[in-house]
Chains A and B, each alone.
Chain A
């Protein structure tokens, strides 16, 4: 619909999946009450998981999943050529996601363990930005559909979108959640990027940092706090490396 005389353009969107659980793609079909409006605001020209139409004529490419094989690298580069705007959708695409955990092992041994004598082709996990240039990253495991909707709106309006600068803690407080540290559990809330509305601490698991670090996180103090509260190095490390989002941090 037109508003203030601005004719909204309807961007042609392609959705492409690489190594991941397809949970982020699934989110595009979630938040059902606005799905029809969402699908009217954009023109889906390629979305293998829900549609048999396929096309190279897209402006926006949403990339889900990490890159773990040669054919994926080739396919991604091809998509990059067509897309005006390439968006990494979800933590796998943004950081490698949980797939990155395999990078800690020798890949031959990994293959041996799972496939025995018939190893399958695989590369160390890479985030999308490690293979092609990325215009926008939407983190989250899975992504938050409400946030995706807002970002798409900003794309349509052609105005910048700013991710929240605050950490998850803030949203936890706004939900009246009792701090999970108070309950004796580890939580990355103080250093993880907010915007997810803190479902995990509220649900009882503590934050695992799926959205990567908040703007200017105080990692040093966080490590001190975790240590003071008796959490072991191994546990903290496991948590920080879980989604690959804290990979670049010292």
Chain B
């Protein structure tokens, strides 16, 4: 007797033939495959953060990989775990991506121990992005606190590369101490570009610090805004963006012109594990980039 049921092999089904493309939300089912990617360079930034340059090993996959500023990837170190990390490099940059990673736990701890040449897994990109297109022709405020510069660096680079599309561009960055500043080797470059206003502030200075001391909102107060023609992107810890957004709101910037990137625990990036839910909104699908109005409306968001 022939058997009653024909096994269904998912990998042989026609849908599976499509190439891996997370951005186009393909119907592809092989979502657990990762791009094997090589760490091509490791650049220490501070005691806690390192910048990793990663190149997807497979040429065709590398060609196809594209992302928008604000999106994140899931980085897997097989055996240790998989974590969401915002892409810190410019979307126009093909060939490799940059991830700025703080040592915080198991996976990040192991990543900080790896050496150039090690291969990790990447899935993505996932999530929403900053609406750079919509921002064209407006004044831009790019504000980061602490590690918030990691997700903000992609829009910064994107804006710089397309500087003529925007009016005034302000980049404001604050950390607790001078030795916690990220990418400090780049400020010089960013500052030299005429017409970009970069300001850095720390909460506590040290002997060598000559810049301003205080909170990020102190920098904001010094900027004259045209609220209805301004877009703002704010990345940093919740307390920080709450204050900044409240300030900007008072200045008259509409809440749906301010964008923040939220952080939640994540295990899949694909709206399955539920760990990133805010209320019942998936941060990985509807976020991490939200406009401030949505954030205000999400119960338990901040």
Residues in A lying within 8 Å of B, measured CB to CB: 3-6, 154, 157-160
CB of A50, distance to nearest CB on chain B (Å): 29
Q: Is B279 an interface residue, CB under 8 A from the partner?
A: no
Task: Judge whether B118 and A159 touch: CB under 8 Å.
Answer: no
Task: Judge whether A3 and B79 touch: CB under 8 Å.
Answer: yes
Give the complex CA separation of A158 and B105 in angstroms.
Answer: 10
Task: Judge whether B77 and A159 touch: CB under 8 Å.
Answer: no
Q: Is B95 an interface residue, CB under 8 A from the partner?
A: no
| Stretch of B16-24, B108-116, B227-235 on the interface side | B108-116
Render B187-217 as a binary contact track against A, CB cut-off 8 A, 1 for contact: 0000000000000000000000000000000
Known: A3-B79, A4-B77. Contact between A159 and B105, CB under 8 A?
Answer: yes
Return the 8 tightest CB-CB contacts between A and B, nearest first.
A5-B115, A159-B109, A4-B118, A4-B114, A159-B106, A5-B118, A6-B113, A5-B114
B119: which of A4, A6, A158, A160 is its contact (CB, 8 Å)? A4
Task: Judge whether A160 and B106 touch: CB under 8 Å.
Answer: yes
Task: Judge whether B109 and A157 touch: CB under 8 Å.
Answer: yes
A-B interface contact total, Cβ < 8 Å: 34
Q: Is B137 an interface residue, CB under 8 A from the partner?
A: no
Task: Judge whether A157 and B113 touch: CB under 8 Å.
Answer: yes
Task: Judge whether A160 and B109 touch: CB under 8 Å.
Answer: yes
Give the complex CA separation of A28 and B77 in angstroms.
Answer: 28
Q: Is B117 an interface residue, CB under 8 A from the partner?
A: yes
* B interface, over-half SS: loop
Give residues 83-116 of B contacting A (CB, 8 Å).
Answer: 105-106, 109-110, 113-116
Question: How many chain B residues touch A (Cβ–Cβ < 8 Å)?
Answer: 15
- The residues of B that contact A3 with a CB separation of less than 8 Å are 79
Give residues 223-282 of B contacting A (CB, 8 Å).
Answer: none
Task: Judge whether B110 and A157 touch: CB under 8 Å.
Answer: yes
> Which residue in chain B gives the minimum CB-CB distance to A160?
B105
- The residues of A that contact B119 with a CB separation of less than 8 Å are 4
* A interface, over-half SS: loop
> Which residue in chain B gives the minimum CB-CB distance to A159?
B109
Task: Judge whether A5 and B109 touch: CB under 8 Å.
Answer: no
Task: Judge whether B110 and A4 touch: CB under 8 Å.
Answer: yes
CB of B101, distance to nearest CB on chain A (Å): 14
Give the complex CA separation of A157 and B80 in angstroms.
Answer: 10
Q: List 29 A-B contacts (CB under 8 A).
A: A3-B79, A4-B77, A4-B110, A4-B113, A4-B114, A4-B115, A4-B119, A4-B120, A5-B114, A5-B115, A5-B116, A5-B117, A5-B118, A6-B113, A6-B114, A6-B115, A154-B106, A157-B80, A157-B109, A157-B110, A158-B109, A158-B113, A159-B80, A159-B105, A159-B106, A159-B110, A160-B105, A160-B106, A160-B109
- The residues of B that contact A6 with a CB separation of less than 8 Å are 110, 113-115
- The residues of A that contact B114 with a CB separation of less than 8 Å are 4-6
- The residues of A that contact B118 with a CB separation of less than 8 Å are 4-5
CB of A152, distance to nearest CB on chain B (Å): 14
Give the complex CA separation of A234 and B265 in angstroms.
Answer: 43
16 further A-B contacts with Cβ under 8 Å, apart from A154-B106, A159-B109, are: A3-B79, A4-B77, A4-B110, A4-B115, A5-B114, A5-B115, A5-B116, A5-B117, A6-B114, A157-B80, A157-B109, A157-B110, A159-B105, A159-B110, A160-B105, A160-B106
Give the complex CA separation of A203 and B8 in angstroms.
Answer: 38
Give the complex CA separation of A114 and B120 in angstroms.
Answer: 62
> Which residue in chain A gives the minimum CB-CB distance to B120?
A4
Give the complex CA separation of A181 and B79 in angstroms.
Answer: 38
CB of A159, distance to nearest CB on chain B (Å): 4
Give the complex CA separation of A159 and B79 in angstroms.
Answer: 13
Give the complex CA separation of A6 and B118 in angstroms.
Answer: 9
- The residues of B that contact A160 with a CB separation of less than 8 Å are 105-106, 109
Give the complex CA separation of A6 and B117 in angstroms.
Answer: 11
> Which residue in chain A gives the minimum CB-CB distance to B106?
A159
Give the complex CA separation of A11 and B288 in angstroms.
Answer: 41
CB of A64, distance to nearest CB on chain B (Å): 27
- The residues of A that contact B115 with a CB separation of less than 8 Å are 4-6
